[in-house]
């Protein structure tokens, strides 16, 4: 079976909910791939993997390496790769970097942050057969290191702007749009207005799908998570337990055991 395509994802609108997950390593991609529709190689790896304070710190080589690892591990889900900060400052720069990503990672599509200001970029990518997922609402790449993430869509001005952004990215040719941290009634209205699917994160159950960062729902860290995260596991407890057992057994000489070691083959007796 070929992997899901952008058209398959578009056709899921109004028929079934789209399940997307943001992750950036091959082991997690192997586990998620048969269970989800979209794997996003998100630049949130800045925080989840590299302990940085902003997605502004991530570059094209880093996204290429992770995109390649994830795309190689996936065979069912549509793989989307985030265009990192500064890699789509003009339509021409965007085209060069998006072509680089699709050729070098085997991901199927790219994601760019921004609304009306992104229409020329989306159009040029789509005209070169590069499927684009848009991303509006809270735009992490616009938030400098150390600044807090806050939801948007409260004022009438923000509402009008976000609705215009959503319509603009659809008209430019995006096959889907992520709605991040947008107040619920507006996320619902956008989902009902557009004919492409909306993928919510901190938005609304009425979005056509949901996306979340894998490390957040797995509970990799003991740090506070945003309101929109539900933790389905506390994997950090299992990892700490395993590390502490390993350290204890090395120190008390119970690991490694003979079965973990290699020995010389027994010599045959010669008469």
- Kindly state the smallest distance separating residue 15's Cβ from ligand KIV, in Å: 22
Q: Are 111 and 135 in contact (CB under 8 A)?
A: yes
Residue 192 in tokens:
């009902």
Distances (CA, A) of 77 to 4, 34, 174: 6, 7, 18
Q: Which residue is nearest to ligand KIV (CB)?
A: 42
Q: What residues from 65 to 84 belong to the interface with ligand KIV (CB under 6 A)?
A: 82
Cross-strand pairs, 54: none
Q: Which of residues 110-169 bind ligand KIV (CB under 6 A)?
A: none
* CA count, 13 A, side-chain hemisphere, 23: 27
Nearer to ligand KIV, 168 or 214 (CB): 214
The DSSP annotation for 222-244 comes to SS---TT---S--HHHHHHHHHH
* CB nearer to ligand KIV: pick between 24 and 119: 24
* Site size for ligand KIV (CB under 6 A): 11
Could you say which of 103, 120, 170, 180 is catalytic?
180
Residue 137 or 173: the one with the smaller Cβ distance to ligand KIV is 137
Touching ligand KIV, residues 169-198 (CB under 6 A):
178, 180
Using CB under 6 A as the binding rule, whether residue 87 contacts ligand KIV is answered as no
Q: Which is nearer to ligand KIV, 227 or 251 (CB)?
A: 227
- Which of 18, 152, 93, 54 has its CA nearest to residue 110? 93
Q: Is 54 exposed, middle or buried (CB count within 10 Å of its CB: 0-12, 13-18, 19+)?
A: middle
**Least Cβ distance, residue 22 to ligand KIV (angstroms):** 3
Cβ 265 to ligand KIV, closest distance in Å? 51
Residues in 21-60 at the binding interface with ligand KIV, rule: CB under 6 A: 22, 40, 42-44
How far apart CA 87 and CA 90 sit, in angstroms, is: 8
Is the preceding peptide bond at 71 cis, omega within 30 degrees of 0? no
Whether the CB-CB separation of 78 and 4 falls below 8 Å is answered with: yes
Distance of closest approach, residue 52 Cβ to ligand KIV, in angstroms: 12
Residue bearing tokens 């502490």: 244
> Is there a catalytic annotation at residue 180?
yes
**Residue 113 carries which DSSP code?**
E
CB of 133 to ligand KIV, least distance (A): 9
Q: Which is nearer to ligand KIV, 165 or 180 (CB)?
A: 180
| Interacting residues with ligand KIV between 197 and 256 (CB under 6 A) | 201, 211, 213
Query: Would you please indicate which residues are annotated as catalytic (active-site) residues?
Result: 180
Give contact residues for ligand KIV (rule: CB under 6 A). Answer: 22, 40, 42-44, 82, 178, 180, 201, 211, 213
């Amino acid at each position: 079976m070929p992997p899901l395509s952008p058209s398959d994802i578009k056709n899921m609108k109004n028929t079934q909910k789209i399940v997307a997950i943001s992750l950036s390593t091959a082991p997690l991609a192997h586990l998620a791939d048969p269970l989800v529709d979209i794997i996003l190689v998100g630049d949130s790896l800045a925080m989840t993997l590299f302990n940085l304070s902003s997605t502004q710190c991530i570059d094209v080589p880093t996204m290429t390496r992770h995109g390649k690892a994830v795309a190689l591990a996936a065979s069912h889900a549509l793989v989307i790769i985030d265009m990192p900060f500064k890699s789509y400052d003009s339509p021409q720069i965007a085209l060069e970097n998006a072509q680089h990503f699709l050729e070098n990672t085997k991901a199927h599509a790219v994601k760019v942050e921004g609304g009306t200001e992104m229409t020329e970029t989306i159009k040029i990518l789509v005209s070169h057969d590069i499927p684009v997922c848009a991303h509006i609402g809270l735009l992490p790449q616009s938030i400098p290191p150390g600044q807090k993430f806050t939801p948007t869509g409260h004022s009438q001005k923000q509402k009008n702007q976000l609705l215009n952004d959503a319509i603009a990215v659809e008209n430019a040719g995006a096959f889907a749009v992520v709605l991040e941290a947008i107040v619920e009634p507006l996320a619902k209205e956008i989902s009902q207005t557009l004919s492409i699917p909306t993928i919510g994160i901190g938005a609304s159950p009425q979005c056509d799908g949901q996306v979340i960062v894998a490390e957040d729902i797995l509970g990799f860290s003991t740090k506070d998570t945003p309101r929109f995260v539900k933790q389905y596991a506390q994997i950090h407890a299992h990892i700490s337990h395993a590390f502490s057992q390993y350290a204890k057994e090395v120190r008390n000489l119970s690991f490694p055991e003979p079965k973990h070691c290699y020995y010389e083959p027994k010599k045959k007796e010669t008469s």
